[in-house]
């Protein structure tokens, strides 16, 4: 799980800092920031679940 959380945390903080840098161009850069973050969380969770299932089926030995 840490393998997935670390890049997500770094990426989200990178986006938030980047939005702050360009706040002089945008009126309200953090308006409804929860919408893209929620979409990102849903997609990333689905990606995590698919990856875990593939790992279990490919790497872990099958019981007989």
Q: DSSP states of the chain as a string? A: -HHHHHHHHHHHHHHHHHHHHTTTTSS-TTTTTHHHHHHHHHHHHHHHHHHHHHHHHHTSPPP-
Residue 42's pLDDT is what?
A: 97
Residue 60's pLDDT is what?
A: 86
Structural Rg of the chain based on CA atoms = 17
Mean pLDDT by 10 residues, the chain (64 residues): 90 93 89 94 96 92 76
State pTM to two decimals.
0.76
In degrees, to the nearest 5, what angle opens at C-alpha 38 toward C-alphas 25 and 17? 35
How is residue 37 written in tokens?
């973050």
């Amino acid at each position: 799980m840490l393998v997935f959380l670390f890049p997500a945390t770094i990426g989200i903080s990178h986006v938030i800092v980047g939005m702050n840098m360009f706040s002089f161009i945008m009126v309200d850069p953090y308006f409804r920031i929860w919408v893209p973050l929620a979409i990102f969380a849903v997609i990333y969770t689905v990606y995590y679940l698919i990856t875990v299932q593939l790992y279990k089926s490919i790497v872990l030995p099958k019981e007989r």
